A and B are shown apart, each in its own frame.
Chain A
Amino acid sequence: MTQYLIAMYQPDGIVPPPEVLGPIMQRLEEFNADLEAADALVFGNGLTDAALATVLRHNGTDVVVTDGPYVEGKEHLGGFEIIDVPDLDAALAWAGRLAEITGLPIEVRAFADVRGAVERG
């Protein structure tokens, strides 16, 4: 089995009206329930607004704290799921469902875990 990050990217500051968001949230809950039922969910959640992020850098002597997201841009990581599935095709199938539900671009990345290399087959 391999763990994958399924990351959702969403435009900043755009919150769909409740009549749109409601059904999406409903389907996301079903999605998560299905992931759990398939024993594939490691962890998943939505994030608060990217503007509320805090960035820390070590400048050689001190840790400097700044307000705002690390990457400037109009879209940010809005939430993610970590899933544990046999291979990329399985991960893409789950991610595809998420893309369809949210209408957002979804990025899939495998975790660099050497365990999977032994167990796969």
Chain B
Amino acid sequence: MGIAMKSKLLAIISFVVFGFSTQLMAHGGATGVVKERMEQMSDMKNALKILSDMFRGKSDYDVQQVRTQAKIINNHAGDALTQFFPEGSLTAPSEANGKIWQQWADFSALAVQLKSASGSLGEAAGQRAVAAPEVFLTMSMQAAPAKAVAPSADSYFKTLTKTCSACHTKYRNE
């Protein structure tokens, strides 16, 4: 084997070994669209942590920070989210569920709802709810607030997180 041939072989081995190791570091070996959407979800999770810490009073409420984090989620929502879900992209370590493509219209609608809720949260960031709505418990599934609650950053944040959980419940393997 000539020197050039050995160098080429070494380069290939290095690429395979180190390239593969680097990919393993990011999201447990995810590649391609799976890696991109896992990074996207990670970005949104980090934004939601900053938001939830403010809404629960663990950190100071900062209107500008709410807008910034809402914008991060907004940029990843709608088509920006669904573009990373080509049909059948379930390669490990993806946590996505195959129902996504059986119920694509619903999945897409949730992505649009995420866009809308995060947009509304950014716009209403300066309007905090005065108090949590009082809820009457009855013996039916309907547990409506005692009176209509004016939209606020708090109510949009709740809508936003309910959208996340609705999507995770249907389309993420827990």
- Is B truly associated with A? no
- Write the residues of chain A forming the contact surface with B, with a CB cutoff of 8 angstroms: none
**Chain B residues near A (Cβ < 8 Å):** none
